[in-house]
C-alpha cells in the first residue's frame, strides 16, 4: 500500500481506500451485524474472509481513520473495533450500492430485505441509522426515539424472513 495517488479525483481517492472486494464488507458487518471483534468478523461473515486478508484490511482501515481499536476490558486478548465518524458516513455509499444490487442482481430473499427497507427509507432513515451508529461506536448520546431503532427494525425484518423460510 504505497501512498502514491493516481489522481486527486474524489471518486478515485475513495476507490483507493475502499475499492477492493473486502473492505466494504468488513464495514458492512460492523454496521449491520455489529461485529466488533476479530473472530466475529472472521467467522460470522457470509462470504468467508481469510484471516490474513482480514488482518490486513483492519490495519489499513485503521490507518485510513475509518475504524479505531481499543482494548476489551473483559478479556486481555480481545480488542474492540469501532467505526469512526468518517467510517459511519460510508453508510450512504453502502445504502446506494445495496439498493442498486437489490434492483439489478440476484439477491437472496433473506439478505435482500434489509436492502429493500433501507432503500425505501431513504436519506432520512440513513441519517437516523447513522445517529444510532454514533451512539454505539462513538458513545455519543442521543435522544431516545419512540419505538424500535432502525437497527432493530432491520434485524427484525431479517429474522422474520428467516423464520418463514425455515418453517
Partner DNA sequence: CAAACTGATTGCATTTAGCAACTGGTTGTA
Partner DNA sequence: TACAACCAGTTGCTAAATGCAATCAGTTTG
Binding site for its own copies (CB under 8 A): 5-17, 19-21, 24-25, 28, 46-48, 65, 86, 89-90, 92-108, 110-112, 115, 123
Q: What is the CA radius of gyration of the chain?
A: 17
One residue of 10, 11, 77, 143 binding DNA per CB under 7 A: 77
Shortest Å distance, C-beta 107 to its own copies: 5
Q: Which is nearer to its own copies, 86 or 145 (CB)?
A: 86
Paired strand residues for 82: 68
Shortest Å distance, C-beta 69 to DNA: 7
One residue of 5, 78, 103, 165 binding DNA per CB under 7 A: 78
Cα 150 to Cα 13, 50, 64, distances in angstroms: 30, 30, 27
143 binds DNA (CB under 7 A): no
- Cα–Cα distance measured from residue 17 to residue 31, given in angstroms and rounded to the nearest whole number: 18
From the list DNA, its own copies, none, partner contacted by residue 17 (C-beta under 5 to 8 A by kind): its own copies
Helix then strand then coil, % of the chain, to nearest 5: 60, 5, 30
- Cα–Cα distance measured from residue 99 to residue 114, given in angstroms and rounded to the nearest whole number: 10
Interactions with DNA, residue window 55-74 (CB under 7 A): 55-56, 58-59, 69
* Cell numbers describing residue 7: 489522481
From the list DNA, its own copies, none, partner contacted by residue 162 (C-beta under 5 to 8 A by kind): none
Assign residue 147 a region: left if phi > 0, alpha if psi is -120 to 50, beta otherwise? left
Interface contacts to DNA, rule CB under 7 A: 1-2, 20-22, 37-40, 48-53, 55-56, 58-59, 69, 75-79
Amino acid at each position: 500500500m504505497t501512498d502514491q495517488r493516481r489522481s486527486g479525483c474524489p471518486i478515485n481517492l475513495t476507490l483507493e481506500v475502499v475499492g477492493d472486494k473486502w473492505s466494504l464488507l468488513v464495514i458492512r458487518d460492523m454496521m449491520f451485524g455489529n461485529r466488533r471483534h476479530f473472530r466475529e468478523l472472521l467467522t460470522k461473515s457470509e462470504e468467508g474472509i481469510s484471516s490474513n486478508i482480514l488482518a490486513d484490511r483492519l490495519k489499513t482501515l485503521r490507518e485510513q481513520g475509518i475504524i479505531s481499536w481499543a482494548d476489551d476490558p473483559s478479556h486481555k486478548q480481545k480488542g474492540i473495533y469501532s467505526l469512526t465518524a468518517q467510517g459511519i458516513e460510508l453508510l450512504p455509499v453502502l445504502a446506494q450500492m445495496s439498493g442498486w444490487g437489490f434492483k439489478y442482481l440476484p439477491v437472496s430473499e433473506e439478505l435482500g430485505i434489509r436492502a429493500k427497507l433501507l432503500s425505501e427509507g431513504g436519506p432520512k432513515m440513513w441519517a437516523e441509522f447513522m445517529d444510532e451508529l454514533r451512539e454505539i461506536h462513538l458513545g455519543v448520546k442521543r435522544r431516545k426515539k419512540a419505538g424500535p431503532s432502525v437497527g432493530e427494525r432491520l434485524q427484525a425484518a431479517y429474522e422474520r424472513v428467516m423464520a418463514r423460510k425455515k418453517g
